Structure 1
């Protein structure tokens, strides 16, 4: 005959181990799904701090950006770091501070000028 504590303790221990296993399994599954996000369907027009996943104060302050042709004020591309995809409904708001030529990196929410890129592929530096 088994000891009464074993009759009570064994099912509780098995249940606790199963619960911990389920929690660990769910966590690993979510982490795997997060890491398996699809890359962009096409490369961005220009790459820089605005398109990286690395932490930076500028990237956190401006998570969604538009890349705009200064000559025509036409949208060239966009990127939202929060969703790792293009900006859903981009709206270009031209401001007087924009230069006359080049590609501009503009905050998608406010329209603030963040960077002027001389030509496609030129990394550009923040205009701060």
Structure 2
């Protein structure tokens, strides 16, 4: 496996934050905080890559590691949802299972989007 670059670490942090960030200081604590975190990290990664390209350095991005980041984050989300299902972690809401989202729709979308990445990794490892 190759050396992990700052852009790959930034992408992994982007995946984690866009799924798990929550703040009670914002009017809509679930959605707005995720959007702000995502926008912030996209800007940071873009500025970093732009500066590297202006200095004549190459920007390398390992697609396999990016896909693994998505699979790991969605696996953590699935474990979090299962812990809600079995009442290990609970919230005082109308829905029993919602992961780190405000309703089950975001939770199911997160799991569904990650499925193709998981299938590709299974096929590549055979």
What is the TM-score normalised by the length of structure 1?
Answer: 0.22
TM-score (norm 2): 0.22
Relative to its length, the structure with more strand (as a share) is 1
Q: Which has the higher contact order (CA 8 A, sep 6+)?
A: 2
